[in-house]
Amino acid sequence: MSDDPSDKPSQRMNGARQRSVPSGRISRLSGFGRLAGGVAGGMLAEGARRLAKGEIPKVEDMLLTPGNAMRLADRLAHLRGAAMKLGQMISMDAGDMLPPELATILASLRDRANFMPARQLDGVLKEQWGNDWRGQFKWFNPRPIAAASIGQVHKAMTRDGQLLAIKVQYPGVADSVDSDVDNVATLLRISGVLPEELDISGLLEAAKVQLKEEADYVREGQQMQLYTAKLAGDDGFVIPTLHEGLTREHILAMSFEEGVPIDSLESEPQEQRDAVAQRMMRLVARELFELGVMQTDPNFANFHYRPATGQIVLLDFGAARDVSPSITEGYRALIKAGLAGDAEDIKLAAKSAGFVNQAALDRHPERIGKMIDIIVGEMSQDAPFDFGDRSFVPLLRDEGMAIAEDKKSWHLPPPDSIFIQRKVSGTALLGARLKSRVNIRRILEEVL
């Protein structure tokens, strides 16, 4: 049922394929089983290859191979839901810590565009809207314009001429969050990515809560309206208008807003890239210190750009969450210490906010001191910071990995801080993708 004059796949959907989403507990569990079996087979093959070359293979070398990363990406893309969402998180959060070829393969999860077959899609729409759902539209394009981890987006026009974007959730996603998170954690454990000694139970529980919130489209619609109110008067951003009459728990209906993917601006003039990155970074600072709410998913697909007006379109609010006063004050103290260049105050603020523990400070004072010096030296100047220059990243990675090898220094920040930091780090990655130059110090001083 499509009379859409633009009935063609978007740039992000080119090369997409239909793959039915496993929705039952048994089918999803078997998917993880096939993944584990494939990884084990890949390990044996890599071990045999290394032995044939006269090498003594290490377990981590056999696990973290491009072949196994490809198996992981493909299986998570098939399962979708919380499983794929966690894979996307790992790819963004650990991108600088992984070997380049593995980071590239896992990053493909952010652009995977598998979508539901027509029969499965129709089943979801009938369940949410009733058997006569087609009668509400002049046309409904059955081929999605975007497909992500939790749902896919369709373009449609109502009988009264409203052009809408309809986000349809994959079946079984909401009910599989707990098991998906537990299964991914188990895979990470056996792969050696997560050491046994590190207690991540609190983080896993927080991840389950957030992913269940993201699967509640009524809640997301409310968050969209909240952001509309919070950013009223700021014409630099566009937020879709919620269509409450068509929105359901697993269907989100909103106005269709034109725009191009924000990371497609990487070939545009420097001035334009700088302006876009600056506005995104100012928004993050405002979310943290002024608005009291933050959309914590930094996936580039959540942000589009309107070349004609220079506006940024904000598209996804499932991961929007309140920022507690304690988190705000922790960041405020840390940033003020950083702007002042006071290393001791930075350590105290970082410890108070839960970013580092006393054991790490006691056992690795020189390495932590070097990391602070690098960050302060890069970010504290009253001048544009070149996000395209990543020369300092390996220096931070080397010091951080050296500390991470010491089990007595292992520590996880509070889960809420981790979600906030994802948005901060992900926005910095967008700056790096655009090779933008932004005066971060000036933004922080103005917002603080």
Cα–Cα distance between 177 and 205 in angstroms, integer? Answer: 11
- Tell me the percentage of the chain whose pLDDT exceeds 90: 45
Nearest to 91, CA basis, from 71, 69, 113 = 69
Kindly report the pTM of this predicted structure. 0.78
Mean pLDDT of 39-47: 43
**Using CA atoms, how far apart are residues 80 and 178, in angstroms rounded to an integer?**
14
**52-98: pLDDT as tens digits:** 445 443 434 434 555 555 555 555 555 544 545 555 455 444 444 45
| Res 43: pLDDT | 42
313 vs 301, more confident: 313
pLDDT digits (tens, 9 = 90+) for 394-423: 788 788 878 877 878 877 788 888 889 889
Q: What residues pair up with 237 in beta bridges, in sequence order?
A: 312
Query: Tell me, what amino acid is at 379?
Result: M
Q: Which whole number is the average pLDDT over 23-46?
A: 46
Q: Which of 258, 108, 242 is nearest to 166 (CA)?
A: 242
The third-level CATH classification (topology) of the domain covering 115-172+216-254 is Phosphorylase Kinase; domain 1 (3.30.200)
Cα-based distances in Å from 97 to 57, 130, 382, 393, 409:
21, 48, 29, 9, 18
Mean pLDDT of the chain: 79
Which one from 4, 180, 274, 297 is the annotated catalytic residue? Answer: 297
Give the pLDDT confidence score for residue 93 in this predicted structure.
Answer: 46
Burial (CB count within 10 angstroms: exposed 0-12, middle 13-18, buried 19+), residue 358: exposed
Q: Can you give 221-265 as a three-state secondary structure string?
A: HHHHHHHHHHCCCCCCEECCCECCCCCECCEEEEECCCCEEHHHH
| CA atoms 411, 415, 421, 422: torsion sign | positive
Cα 353–chain centre separation: 22
More confident residue, 391 or 295: 295
Domain boundaries, the chain: 25-112+181-194, 115-172+216-254, 260-448
- Judged against a pLDDT cut of 50, whether residue 38 lies above it is answered with no
* 297 a catalytic residue: yes
Closest Cα to residue 123, out of 153, 156, 61, 168?
168
